[in-house]
C-alpha cells in the first residue's frame, strides 16, 4: 500500500470505485459542510474536496477535508497550482497528511480570471504534472522538491485529472502518459457526456498500457435540467456535451428532466462498469449532493465494499 487510503484499498482489491464531490462553503459555516456530507456517507469511497473551485474563494480544501473526516467521509484533498507556490504546497501537504488526509488530487486550477477575484495574481509556480511528481517524490523518496530529507514523509495516494475531450485530442492520451510517468496512481476525468470520444480515449490508454499503471475513474455528472445541459455545452471550458444529450432532455416533460438526467448518468455508469480500462466512476453531482444516495442506488453501486 502506498498510502493505505480507503480509495487505494478499494481499487487495489479490484472493486469498481465510486467517488463523490463536496464543494466547501463560501464562509466558515460548518453546518453547510455537515449538510452536504450527510447524504454522501456510506455512498462513496472517497469524496473530492474542491480547492477554490472556479477560482472563487471558499473554505480551504485541507480544512474542509478535516471536517469531512470528522463527518465519517474519506477526503480526496484537491490542490490547484493557481493559488500557492511550491513552498506553500509542500507545507500544506505535510499538514494535511499529519491530520490524516491520505488522497490528493493535483490540478492546474481554473484561471483566476473566471473567479470572484479576477485581478489576483495567479501563482502557477509549478504545473499539475510537476505537482504530481513532487507529491510522489515526497512519498517515495522522502524528500522535498529540493532533494532535502523530510522528517516523516507524507504518504499520499496521488490523483490526477484528465480531459479526454479537449483539443488536441490526439495529444490527450500522451498527456495522461506524462501524468502517469510523473506518479499518478489514479485519474479522475472531466465530466463525460460524449461517450464515443471517451471510448476512443480509453481504448488508446489501453493500447499504450497506461490502464495497467493507473486507475481511471470516469467523471459523471447528472444533468438537473435542459438549462444546465445547455449552459455546460456553451459556457464551461473544456466541456463536450453532444446534441443527443440536449435532445434527450428536450424530449421529456420539464418536470421529468432531472429524472432523465439521472437515467442518462446511470446508463453511463452501467457502461463504465463493463468498460475495459475504467476502474470506477467519479460522480460530480454539482450542488445536488442530496441526490447521491438515489443515484448510487439506481446505478447499482451499493452497498460500498468494506475493505
Partner 1 sequence: MIVAERKPFDEIKELIQGYKKVLVVGCGTCVAVCLTGGEKEVGVLSAELKLVNKTASDPASFGEATVQRQCDFEFLDELKDIVGEYDALLSMACGAGIQFLAERYPEIPVLPAVDTVFIGVNKDVGWYEERCKACGSCALGMTGGICPVTMCAKSLFNGPCGGTNQESCEINKDQPCAWRMIYERLAKQGRLDNIIKICPPNDWRNQKPQTLIQPGYEERKTAVE
> Is residue 186 within 8 Å of 16, Cβ to Cβ?
no
| Closest CB to partner 1 among residues 31, 170 | 170
CB of 34 to partner 1, least distance (A): 31
Residues 6+ apart with CB under 8 A from 255: none
Grid cell for residue 3: 498510502
Q: Please tell me whether residue 167 binds partner 1 under the rule CB under 8 A.
A: yes
Q: Please tell me whether residue 108 binds partner 1 under the rule CB under 8 A.
A: yes
Q: Please tell me whether residue 145 binds partner 1 under the rule CB under 8 A.
A: yes
Residues 6+ apart with CB under 8 A from 239: 165, 190, 191, 193, 232, 233
Question: CA nearest 36: which of 67, 57, 79, 62?
Answer: 67
CB of 286 to partner 1, least distance (A): 16
Question: CA nearest 205: which of 184, 232, 233?
Answer: 184
Q: Please tell me whether residue 143 binds partner 1 under the rule CB under 8 A.
A: no
CB of 6 to partner 1, least distance (A): 26
Size of interface with partner 1, in residues (CB under 8 A): 36
Q: Please tell me whether residue 187 binds partner 1 under the rule CB under 8 A.
A: no
Phi, psi of 16 (to 5 degrees): -80, 115
> Is residue 20 within 8 Å of 283, Cβ to Cβ?
yes
Q: Please tell me whether residue 230 binds partner 1 under the rule CB under 8 A.
A: no
Q: What part of residues 116-135 is at the interface with partner 1 (CB under 8 A)?
A: 122, 124-130, 133-134
Neighbour count for residue 175 (Cβ, 10 Å): 17
CB of 259 to partner 1, least distance (A): 29
| Closest CB to partner 1 among residues 230, 298 | 230
Question: CA nearest 281: which of 196, 206, 170, 192?
Answer: 192
Choices 22-30, 148-156, 171-179, 256-264; region in contact with partner 1 by CB under 8 A? 171-179
Binding site for partner 1 (CB under 8 A): 81-82, 86, 108-111, 113-114, 122, 124-130, 133-134, 145, 161-163, 166-168, 171, 174-175, 177-178, 181-182, 190, 237-238
Amino acid at each position: 500500500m502506498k498510502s493505505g487510503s480507503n480509495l487505494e484499498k478499494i481499487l487495489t482489491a479490484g472493486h469498481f470505485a465510486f467517488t463523490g464531490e463536496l464543494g466547501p462553503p463560501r464562509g466558515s459555516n460548518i453546518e453547510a459542510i455537515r449538510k452536504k456530507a450527510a447524504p454522501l456517507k456510506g455512498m462513496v469511497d472517497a469524496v473530492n474536496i474542491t480547492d477554490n473551485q472556479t477560482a472563487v474563494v471558499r473554505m480551504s480544501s485541507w480544512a474542509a477535508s478535516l471536517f469531512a473526516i470528522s463527518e465519517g467521509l474519506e477526503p480526496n484533498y484537491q490542490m490547484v497550482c493557481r493559488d500557492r507556490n511550491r513552498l506553500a504546497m509542500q507545507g500544506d501537504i505535510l499538514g494535511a497528511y499529519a491530520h490524516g488526509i491520505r488522497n490528493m488530487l493535483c490540478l492546474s486550477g481554473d484561471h483566476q480570471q473566471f473567479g470572484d477575484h479576477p485581478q489576483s495574481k495567479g501563482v502557477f509556480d509549478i504545473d499539475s504534472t510537476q505537482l504530481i511528481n513532487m507529491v510522489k517524490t515526497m512519498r517515495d523518496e522522502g524528500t522535498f522538491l529540493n532533494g532535502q530529507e523530510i522528517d516523516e514523509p507524507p504518504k499520499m495516494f496521488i490523483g490526477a485529472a484528465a480531459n479526454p475531450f479537449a483539443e488536441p485530442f490526439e495529444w490527450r492520451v500522451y498527456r495522461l502518459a506524462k501524468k502517469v510517468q510523473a506518479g499518478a496512481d489514479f485519474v479522475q476525468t472531466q465530466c463525460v457526456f460524449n461517450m464515443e470520444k471517451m471510448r476512443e480515449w480509453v481504448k488508446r490508454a489501453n493500447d499504450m498500457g497506461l490502464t495497467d499503471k493507473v486507475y481511471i475513474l470516469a467523471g459523471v455528472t447528472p444533468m438537473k435540467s435542459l438549462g444546465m445541459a445547455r449552459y455546460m455545452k456553451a459556457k464551461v471550458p473544456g466541456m463536450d456535451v453532444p446534441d443527443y444529450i440536449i435532445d434527450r432532455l428536450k424530449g421529456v416533460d420539464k418536470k421529468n428532466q432531472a429524472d432523465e438526467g439521472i437515467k442518462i448518468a446511470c446508463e453511463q455508469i452501467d457502461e463504465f462498469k463493463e468498460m475495459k480500462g475504467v476502474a470506477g466512476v467519479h460522480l460530480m453531482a454539482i450542488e445536488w449532493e442530496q441526490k447521491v444516495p438515489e443515484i448510487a442506488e439506481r446505478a447499482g453501486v451499493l452497498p460500498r465494499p468494506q475493505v
